[in-house]
A = this chain, B = another copy of it.
Amino acid sequence: MSEVIFPRLTIIGPGLIGGSIARAARVFGGIAGEITVSSRSQKTLDRVRELGFADIIEPSPAKAAEGADCVILCTPVGTYAALAEAIAPSLKPGAVISDVGSTKQSVIRDIGPFVPAGIHFVPAHPMAGTEFSGPDSGFAELFQGRWSLLTPPPGTDEAAIQKIEALWQKTGAQTARMDAAHHDRVLAIVSHLPHLIAFTICGTADDLADETRQEVLQFAATGFRDFTRIAASDPEMWRDIFQANKDAVLEMLARFSEDAQAMARAIRWGDTAYIEDKIIRSRKIRQSLIDLKQA
């Protein structure tokens, strides 16, 4: 076997992200030797066995972490504290713990206290995904051209950080380092608030009278269809994200609500210049994304 970053890599939670990391490690060289996968669900483990993207399948997170050079938590962020506590005693000196959670302050708060001396904790967040979830939804190319943001607390072992950076780069992602609090504010506006809004508008539509709702579905135009695609994401994962990034999400929702009220006022009073200006600014943001190849 040629040289790899982590001879033994353990993925806890082989869903969209975890399953894609395991597949990428299989498809692209240099990431991992032996891949162990753990899940609390026997059905998921059976499916992983059928799909064949793990060498070892192990229901117990603690056993899955034994002897691993790196353990990556890929479950909803609300499970991280209990998982960290469970795996901590199994970790070998020099091992790296990482994760893929969308909220980084909460992850550092929940995992940090359980990390033993001599073990390195490198929080990471690959900004990739689809509206699908579960072991069948992953694919090796998911991270190509996307960002993976690392938020290592001050004092984190530099060699461990570089190993996690190398892992992500080998999956095809770009990496950047960022302060965890800053990460959480940026993510609140680019990801968490859009999801909250998408979930909400689907509920608003669902609450309309039965007869109208039927037509809402029948005649779903482009706008609403795109919102439901966002809103099809994993419920448990998003429930945890909103809790874990509560302050930033509530702040961004408050800003958005103020702006929506200003738009409502402009519509009510016929301030067409205001409305047009907002739409033109939106188009410019879209153009910026295209220029940055993010669209």
The contact of A260 among B192, B197, B228, B232, by CB within 8 Å, is B197
Interface membership of chain A positions 258-293, coded 1 if the CB is closer than 8 angstroms to chain B and 0 otherwise: 011101100110101001101111111111110010
- In the assembled complex, the Cα of A200 lies from the Cα of B194 at a distance in Å of 11
Stretch from A32-40, A152-160, A235-243 that touches the partner: A235-243
Q: Given B147, B206, B226, which contacts A226 in the complex, CB threshold below 8 Å?
A: B226
> At the interface, yes or no: A185 with Cβ under 8 Å from chain B?
yes
B289 touches A225 (CB 8 A): yes
Counting every copy of the chain, the complex holds 2
Contact check, B250 vs A220: say whether CB atoms are below 8 A apart.
no
A199 at the binding interface (Cβ < 8 Å): yes
Contact in complex: A191, B275 (CB < 8 Å): no
Q: Complex: how many Å from CA A252 to CA B208? A: 10
Q: Which residues from B are CB-within-8-Å of A195?
A: 223
The 5 closest A-B pairs by CB, nearest first: A194-B223, A231-B282, A202-B282, A191-B221, A235-B279
Residues of A within 8 A of B (CB): 127-131, 147, 149, 176, 182, 185-187, 189-208, 212, 215-233, 235-236, 238-239, 242-243, 246, 249-250, 252-257, 259-261, 263-264, 267-268, 270, 272, 275-276, 278-289, 292, 294-295
